[in-house]
Amino acid sequence: MGNTCNKSKKHRTEVVYTSDFKDDIDPNVTYVPNEPDLLEPLFVNSNDKSMLDRLLGCAYGQALGDAYGLSTEFETRERIHRNYPDASILIPFPNYITTIHSRRWKRGDWTDDTDQWILILDTLTEGKGDEKVFAKKLKRWIENGFREVGDSVGRGLGANVQQVVYSDGYLKDPLKTSEMVWERGNRQAAPNGAVMRCSAAAFVHYNDPEKVKSTTISMCKTTHFDPRCIASCLAVCLTITHLVKNKVNDNEIEPLIKRVQEETIQILGDNLSGEHRELFVWHIDPSRTLQDLKLDDPT
């Protein structure tokens, strides 16, 4: 993909917005004639500047957090310390020390996390959230990336997504195929390839909590059928929905986490086993530390 300034714009002609909203955001950004912006229809009818700020924070947080996180993705604590021995200094961006993993992307680029976020955003704004529409977009992205910005393939593809997408019948019935792959693996596979992209559901449907829930679940299941994956996506999207709709003070964060935890468990019900429910509660506990999570444990 190209850099983070160019990838938010998609060069197509089937949808055209004629408002002056682009100029209101940043008159210095250049658009090609009739270029649509996927973010515009979400903003154009709102006069709430603080709401717009939170929505933009969600979008920029997704892309920039992804791009910055690439600096240490898949690195152990030991290797990170070797590259950046002074923990009091922020890791430079975009001029971080590249690794075998990160050098596959251009400096400052985001990864498949945000590419797939864009695919969901595209599906929800144009395809009405149809799982088959997303499945087609996902397979096209895997094979081509975003050609508009010079991609040749979708870079960073996870093994689980690849296995599901290239199983027979995926484009015809993505949910059934995803479930079949999960069952074939003895219901063990629960990687993070859905939660990395899921916030698009809350970004689009923040005004409709029930739509957030149903869309989050369906978009997750298109590639990740395990209830643990669904639980993580629901927790993220329910939290973002609340943060976008409401101004939240620091002292309200922990009660919000508790509420989201309980709501996620209630939504999934018996689909989340007792063991997995305990693990979910343990991981989402606000008192949990990074050391507790053992994020550089290869297992």
Give the separation between CA 182 and CA 116, rounded to whole angstroms: 20
Output the pLDDT for position 17.
35
Pair 1, 105: CB distance under 8 Å:
yes
Burial 165-195 (b: 16+ CB within 10 A, else e): beeeebeeebbebbbbbbeeeeeebbbebbb
Cβ atoms within 10 Å of 37's Cβ, excluding its own: 19
Rounding to the nearest 10 degrees, give the CA dihedral for residues 65, 70, 73, 75: -130
**16 part of a folded domain:** no
**Residue 111 is labelled as binding a ligand:** yes
Pair 281, 261: CB distance under 8 Å:
yes
**298 part of a folded domain:** no
**173 part of a folded domain:** yes
pTM of the model: 0.86
**2 part of a folded domain:** no
Q: How confident is the prediction along the chain (299 residues), in pLDDT tens digits per residue? A: 545 544 544 433 333 333 444 445 455 555 556 655 666 766 665 667 888 889 999 999 999 999 999 999 999 999 999 999 999 999 999 999 999 999 999 999 999 999 999 999 999 988 789 999 999 999 999 999 999 888 999 999 999 999 999 999 999 999 999 999 999 999 999 999 999 999 999 999 999 999 999 999 999 999 999 999 999 999 999 999 999 998 889 999 999 999 999 999 999 999 999 999 999 999 999 899 989 998 887 76
Total count of domains within the chain:
1
Q: What range defines the domain where residue 127 resides?
A: 21-70+105-293
**76 part of a folded domain:** no
Q: Which CA distances in Å does 144 have to 113, 238, 270?
A: 16, 32, 40
CATH number (domain holding residue 168): 1.10.4080.10
**78 part of a folded domain:** no
